[in-house]
């Protein structure tokens, strides 16, 4: 777990706890022993701490955060104090990542040497926490309170090179940092021998003019932007302690704050979301011998909004892309869209000139399938029509080389049927990107019934390469995300019929935490697109009940944001949508047509009906084996559908609420207007009933138990 060796008078201690050298209890014990050994070794004049493998240290072990091990000796606070108070110089040699507790460990050392590309940061705020081992107290003393607050509050990672002038690092190197760190350790030891004091962060005094006004403004800003989450404001408080309190008192306040936040529901949800994303990359039943195929040359069929976004996702990872369209004007529009997007990023400072030129150069256009012949991966992103996709895949089957991956970006259609259009269904897979594809993190990887393990492994590897959060789904209408979205939208419409209005429904669910309510989402996606999906679903399932208000809105030309009129009016130059009197009149008229007396509907009922519609459909998806695990369903919704990350996801939220209460609430909703067929809609999934009856949760569910 840690290694100790003497190198010309310098004790080199190597952190070794794969994969990220997390500071779990076992590593803390070994590290404390190694530090004591160095301090007691008469031949060791200095100490260097470094990490084995790909990085220095990824921080605390999040899996221990609700276990007694978190507070067992040596705690991080005690260990870092031991290092900081060492009479012998301790130098951190950083490479790869130094995040969270890993950076806090480096801050406790007397000097830091970093490879210039090392990624550093204190991301605890993204878990609903503050740094809990001195980060908010030592960092301001080294780089100043303003920069420290920016790093802590945003929780962002950045390269060591970008902080070269901050005072955080004593030396930067393009090479491996160990030799430079050992040399610096020897120099510091010589200075100590001459009577010079070591630089201990805790002994420095941070200075900030007008500190009271600065922190008051920062606190107000954090409160306004955090939507009620406690961690951002707590981060401001803790950095302020570094300026206003003695070091040890600041440490104590920071730790108390960390411990308090660790018990909040926000931390529980964010921790679940973090661990769920890590778990989602593990594909159940994938043979170990299934190795990813190389992907270097790519083709995207279609240059529309989705196709150009997918092309940029690939180019952003350094992959050359050929974007194919049928006609020159469409291809020109697609390439212009790519260039304009990159140009906007350049103007905002998100890309350098070199990056701009490189990425634009990686994306080329074509009007034929010649590029398909040499491609390792082809992604189809054409109109959502099965006949059109048939034409595309028949051409791909004829043109693509053996072993090339043929992927469809369909959001609703049957991947197995699409695969059957080829003579190589084992090479066909669904890659459902979310729009805008170059921005959204979620990628649903849809495994067809004949998709080969090697193709699935290649898709998951590609997802990591292009920076996507991948979730494996089986084949069904809408896969995981869009299948669950349909009952959610159905309930939103039925709430309109009974007495709610679009802006009330959106406001209620957004106040609860969703990024956007169902009607704002519909306007953004296009209400005409929603109409096509409803038409397809009703053709196959005529018993489904949607509010006719959906079709009324489309019939009167309110297609959404793209035309400035949808469920809302969109005023040029005004960001907020405006409730529409025309829409309100149409909604009220539909209630009258149904013979319903409109009633007052509480925000609580709105949230419950929308949320539990998601939960029940998610339970059916799990029972059918479409999703591998409940946490995968949660990842789809937190990463792709605006579900509040701090609530963990719909299935986690149901567990927190209690499945018995979920069933009881659904039972209440099953008694409603006759035309809605409420008893059918709210009939609970068998899995939900079974888990509730056994006092279990979605978190404990394993699909193999059903077989």
- Model confidence at 704: pLDDT above 60: no
Read off the CATH number of the domain in which 141 is found: 3.90.226.10
The beta-strand segments (E) located in 558-653 are 568-569, 578-579
> Which residue, of 234, 261, 288, is where some domain finishes?
261
Same domain membership, residue 65 and residue 201: yes
Same domain membership, residue 199 and residue 344: no
Rounded to whole angstroms, the Cα distance separating 97 from 90 reads 19
> Which residue, of 209, 234, 261, is where some domain finishes?
261
Rounded to whole angstroms, the Cα distance separating 112 from 99 reads 14
pLDDT, tens digit (0-9, with 9 covering 90-100), for 441-495: 999 999 999 999 999 999 999 999 999 999 999 999 999 999 999 999 999 999 9
| Average pLDDT of the segment spanning 114-141 | 97
Q: Using DSSP bridges, classify how beta strands 363-366 and 377-380 pair: parallel, antiparallel or unpaired.
A: unpaired
Q: Is residue 583 part of a domain?
A: no
- Model confidence at 705: pLDDT above 80: no
119 closest CA partner among 61, 51, 65, 70: 51
| Average pLDDT of the segment spanning 373-395 | 96
| Average pLDDT of the segment spanning 26-32 | 95
Q: Is residue 380 part of a domain?
A: yes
Q: Is residue 292 part of a domain?
A: no
Total domains, the chain: 3
Determine which helix (DSSP H) or strand (DSSP E) holds 180, and give its type and residue range.
helix 178-193
Of 84, 124, 380, 617, which is the active-site residue? Answer: 124
Q: Is residue 207 part of a domain?
A: yes
- DSSP code of residue 447: -
pLDDT, tens digit (0-9, with 9 covering 90-100), for 472-483: 999 999 999 999
pLDDT, tens digit (0-9, with 9 covering 90-100), for 531-578: 988 988 898 899 999 999 999 999 999 999 999 999 999 999 888 999
pLDDT, tens digit (0-9, with 9 covering 90-100), for 48-79: 999 999 999 999 988 888 788 888 999 999 99
Of 104, 254, 380, 444, which is the active-site residue? Answer: 104
124 is catalytic: yes
Residue 706 pLDDT: 47
Mean residue pLDDT across the chain: 95
Same domain membership, residue 337 and residue 230: no
| Average pLDDT of the segment spanning 405-418 | 95
Domain around 336: 298-473
Q: Is the dihedral of CA 582, 535, 668, 594 positive or negative?
A: positive
| Average pLDDT of the segment spanning 166-185 | 96
Q: Check residues 459 and 1 and name the one with the higher pLDDT.
A: 459
Interior angle at CA 359, CA 357 and CA 364, nearest 5: 100
- Model confidence at 6: pLDDT above 80: yes
Residue 289 pLDDT: 86
Q: Is residue 182 part of a domain?
A: yes
> Which residue, of 235, 261, 287, is where some domain finishes?
261
Residue 63 pLDDT: 85
Same domain membership, residue 317 and residue 257: no
Judged by phi (left if over 0) then psi (alpha if -120 to 50, else beta), residue 677 lies in: left
Same domain membership, residue 326 and residue 202: no
Q: Is residue 338 part of a domain?
A: yes
Rounded to whole angstroms, the Cα distance separating 452 from 19 reads 28
Same domain membership, residue 504 and residue 462: no
Rounded to whole angstroms, the Cα distance separating 458 from 295 reads 8
Same domain membership, residue 73 and residue 222: yes
Interior angle at CA 674, CA 671 and CA 678, nearest 5: 45
Same domain membership, residue 371 and residue 249: no
Q: What are phi and psi of 703, to 5 degrees?
A: -60, -25
Read off the CATH number of the domain in which 647 is found: 1.10.1040.50
| Average pLDDT of the segment spanning 208-221 | 93
Same domain membership, residue 178 and residue 32: yes
Q: Is residue 269 part of a domain?
A: no
Give the 3-state secondary structure of residue 254.
helix
Cα pseudo-dihedral 234, 238, 243, 247, rounded to 10? 160
Rounded to whole angstroms, the Cα distance separating 171 from 182 reads 12
Give the 3-state secondary structure of residue 383.
coil
- Model confidence at 372: pLDDT above 80: yes
- DSSP code of residue 250: H
By the 8 A CB rule, do 118 and 98 touch? yes
The residue assigned the tokens 């803390």 is 28
| Average pLDDT of the segment spanning 167-182 | 96
Same domain membership, residue 604 and residue 678: yes
Residue 1 pLDDT: 57
By the 8 A CB rule, do 48 and 189 touch? no
> For the chain, what percent of residues have pLDDT higher than 90?
91
Q: Is residue 521 part of a domain?
A: no
Read off the CATH number of the domain in which 440 is found: 3.40.50.720
Q: What are phi and psi of 25, to 5 degrees?
A: -55, -45
Same domain membership, residue 441 and residue 397: yes
Same domain membership, residue 100 and residue 27: yes
Residue 707 pLDDT: 39
Rounded to whole angstroms, the Cα distance separating 627 from 615 reads 13
- Model confidence at 702: pLDDT above 70: no
């Amino acid at each position: 777990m840690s290694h100790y060796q003497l190198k010309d008078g310098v004790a080199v201690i190597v952190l070794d706890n794969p994969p990220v050298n997390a500071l779990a209890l076992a590593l803390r014990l070994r590290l404390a022993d190694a530090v004591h050994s160095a301090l007691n070794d008469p031949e060791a004049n200095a100490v260097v701490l470094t990490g084995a493998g790909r990085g220095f240290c990824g921080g605390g072990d999040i899996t221990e955060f609700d276990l007694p091990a978190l507070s067992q000796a040596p705690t991080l606070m005690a260990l870092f104090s031991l290092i900081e108070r060492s009479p012998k110089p301790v130098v951190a040699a950083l490479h790869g990542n130094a995040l969270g507790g890993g950076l806090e460990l480096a801050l406790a050392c007397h000097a830091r040497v970093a490879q210039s590309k090392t990624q550093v940061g204190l991301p605890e705020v993204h878990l609903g926490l503050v740094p809990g081992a001195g980060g908010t107290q030592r960092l301001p003393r080294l780089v100043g309170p303003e920069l420290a607050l920016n790093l802590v509050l945003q929780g962002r990672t950045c390269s060591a090179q970008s902080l070269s002038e901050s005072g955080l690092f004593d030396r930067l190197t393009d090479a491996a940092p160990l030799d430079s760190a050992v040399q610096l350790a020897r120099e510091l030891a010589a200075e100590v021998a001459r009577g010079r004091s070591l630089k201990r962060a805790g002994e420095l005094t941070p200075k900030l003019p007008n500190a009271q006004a600065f922190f008051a403004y920062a606190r107000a800003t954090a409160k306004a932007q955090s939507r009620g989450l406690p961690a951002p404001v707590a981060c401001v408080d803790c950095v302020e302690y570094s300026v206003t309190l003695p070091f040890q008192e600041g440490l104590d306040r920071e730790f108390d704050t960390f411990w308090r936040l660790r018990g909040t529901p926000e931390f529980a949800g964010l921790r679940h979301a973090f661990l769920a994303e890590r778990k989602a990359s593990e594909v159940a039943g994938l043979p170990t011998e299934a190795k990813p195929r190389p992907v270097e040359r790519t083709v995207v069929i279609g240059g529309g909004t989705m196709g150009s976004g997918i092309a940029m996702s690939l180019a952003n990872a350094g992959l050359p892309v050929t974007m194919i369209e049928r006609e020159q004007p469409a291809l020109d529009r697609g390439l212009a869209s790519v260039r304009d997007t990159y140009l906007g990023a350049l103007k905002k400072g998100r890309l350098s000139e070199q990056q701009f030129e490189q990425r634009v150069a990686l994306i080329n256009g074509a009007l034929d399938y010649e590029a398909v012949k040499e491609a390792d991966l082809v992604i189809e992103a054409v109109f959502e029509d099965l006949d059109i996709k048939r034409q595309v895949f028949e051409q791909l089957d004829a043109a693509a080389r053996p072993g090339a991956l043929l992927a469809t970006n369909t959001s609703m259609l049957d991947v197995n049927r699409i695969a059957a259009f080829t003579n190589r269904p084992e090479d066909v897979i669904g890659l459902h990107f979310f729009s805008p594809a170059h921005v959204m993190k979620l990628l649903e990887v849809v495994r067809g019934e004949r998709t080969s393990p090697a193709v699935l492994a290649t898709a998951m590897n590609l997802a990591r390469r292009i920076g996507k959060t991948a979730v494996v789904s089986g084949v069904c209408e809408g896969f995981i995300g869009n299948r669950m979205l349909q009952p959610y939208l159905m309930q939103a419409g039925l709430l309109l019929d009974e007495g709610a209005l679009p802006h009330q429904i959106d406001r209620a669910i957004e106040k609860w935490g969703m990024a956007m309510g169902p009607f704002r989402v519909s306007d953004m996606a296009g209400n005409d697109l929603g109409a096509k999906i409803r038409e397809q679903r009703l053709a196959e399932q005529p018993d489904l009940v949607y509010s006719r208000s959906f079709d009324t809105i489309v019939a009167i030309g309110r297609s959404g944001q793209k035309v400035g009129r949808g469920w809302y009016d969109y005023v040029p130059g005004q960001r907020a949508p405006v409730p529409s009197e025309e829409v309100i009149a149409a909604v009220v008229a539909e209630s009258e047509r149904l013979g319903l007396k409109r009633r007052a509907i509480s925000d609580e009922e709105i949230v419950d009906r929308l949320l539990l519609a998601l939960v029940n459909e998610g339970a059916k998806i799990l029972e059918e084996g479409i999703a591998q695990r409940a946490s995968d369903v949660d990842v789809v919704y937190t990463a792709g559908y605006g579900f509040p990350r701090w609530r963990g996801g719909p299935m986690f939220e149901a567990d927190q609420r209690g499945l018995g209460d979920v069933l009881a609430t659904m039972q209440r909703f099953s008694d409603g207007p006759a035309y809605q067929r409420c008893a059918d809609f709210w009939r609970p999934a068998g899995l939900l009933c079974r888990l509730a009856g056994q006092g279990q949760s979605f978190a404990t569910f394993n699909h193999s138990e059903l077989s």
